Amino acid sequence: SLHFKLEASSSTIEVFTTRPDTIYGVSFMVLAPEHPLVDEITTSEFTAAVADYKKQASMKSERDRQADVKNISGQNTGAFALHPFSGEKVEIWIGDYVLASYGTGAVMAVPCGDQRDYDFANHFGITIRNIFEGKEISERAYTERDAVIANSDFLNGLPVNKAMKAAIDEIEKRGSGKG
């Protein structure tokens, strides 16, 4: 469990991840359209577009939203979270592939390591950082767990299993979440 502070709010967005080792690969976040923070964080510039997207998403069943992996859709909220380690601003989007009823209804998107995040990032022109040493991600995400972590500060050079433990330890030490 990991909390991302919001740039312009005292609220945080909680995500659950099975891959804390990929924390430095986060390049955006995606909330379920029904997530309770969506209306609070959406900037005035994106209010109408977010409302329209929420309406469209509400017309689909959860089953349809999970099954429809070919049609990529989403909407930027104009809001930013702060990366819990680097402090970098992370765009917050809504997307119907994230379900409010599953986990926390929020995803820390790591496009280099998750195919749905990869497809979403490619579709919307979002940066994809490669955090896997020697692994090619120009065509698709690298989803195996046998990599060595790179471009990730204190996790550099660690195999995934050791990077997971080190990331959880640091998350807990910083008070940003728990293992």
Q: What is the pLDDT of residues 35-55, one digit of tens each?
A: 999 999 999 999 999 999 999
Mean residue pLDDT across the chain: 94
Reduced 3-state DSSP string for the chain: CEEEEECCCCCEEEECCCCHHHHHHCCEEEECCCCCCHHHHCCHHHHHHHHHHHHHHHCCCHHHHHHCCCCCCCEEEEEEEECCCCCCEEEEEECCCCCCCCCCCEEEECCCCCHHHHHHHHHHCCCCCCCECCCCCCCCCCCCCCCEECCCHHHCCCEHHHHHHHHHHHHHHHCCECC
Question: How confident is the model over 5-17, as a mean pLDDT?
Answer: 92
User: CA 165, CA 105: separation in Å to the nearest integer?
Assistant: 24
Q: Is the whole model's pTM more than 0.85, yes or no? A: yes
Q: What is the pLDDT of residues 79-138, one digit of tens each?
A: 999 999 999 999 999 999 898 878 899 999 999 999 999 999 999 999 999 999 999 999
